[in-house]
Amino acid sequence: MPTGVHIRDARQQLFDAAERILLRDGASALTSRAVTTEAGVAKGVLHRYFDDFDAFLAELVEGRLTRLADQAQTLRRSAGTGTVKDNLTEALLELFDPVAVAIVALIVARDELRTRLRRTAPGLPVLTEAGTMIAGYLADECAQGRIAADADTETLALSLIGAGHLLFAGAPARPDTAAVGRIVDTIMADAVQRRLL
């Protein structure tokens, strides 16, 4: 097997193991030994590909940010189609999947990781990018006249991300579409209604 394939597979195996630990045991259980044990590889394998454990975790988060960038493109393309409520509800359900919620908890729990990530991404990684994604979508909807032209899209985006994160992070079970839709309706009601005036 070519070396490049082997490296990619080993790295992905480690990332998959880290996600399983986050989901099952939480951020406090995520250690290099736990990851290599979960992945079924020797401890040295992780350090063969990463300078230290925080470098590994930073790349795990960066993978989530790449996925978020793809989601942002999809959301922006949905502007002008369907309903604003449905588009935002779907975006929040996808954004706050269990792994993303666990990764935000990990970032909050690990000072060194947060410091490392802030060198390239301001704010709280994942949530900051999510806010930018939602604000961009809302700006597109303003331009199309589907929400009020003077809507404060950045504040609306922060409100949606904050409320969404609290809903998903604090719930004993994953919230359903109706619960997320209620949040979207409440936060967006004024901007949606005023477009009609």
CATH number for the domain that contains residue 77? 1.10.357
Burial class (CB in 10 A: 0-12, 13-18, 19+), 65: middle
How many distinct helices (H) and strands (E) make up the chain? 10, 0
Angle at 131 between CA 129 and CA 136, to 5 degrees: 95
pLDDT band at 7; cut points 50, 70, 90: very low
Number of domains in the chain: 2
The model's pLDDT over 112-147, given as tens digits with 9 standing for 90+, comes to 999 999 888 778 889 999 999 999 999 999 999 999
Same-domain status, 1 and 65: no
Same domain, 30 and 80: no
Reported confidence tier of residue 43, pLDDT bands at 50, 70, 90: confident
How confident is the model at residue 8, as a pLDDT? 52
* 11 has a pLDDT exceeding 60: yes
For residue 16, the SS3 value is: helix
- Segment 178-191 shows an average pLDDT of 96
Domain that holds residue 190: 54-194
- Interatomic CA distance for residues 10 and 46, integer angstroms: 9
- Average model confidence (pLDDT) for the chain? 91
Say whether pLDDT at 197 is over 60.
no
Same-domain check for residues 61 and 43:
no
**For the chain, how far is it from start to end, CA to CA, in angstroms?**
65
pLDDT attached to residue 118? 87
Q: Are 23 and 101 in contact (CB under 8 A)?
A: no
Report the residue count for the chain. 197
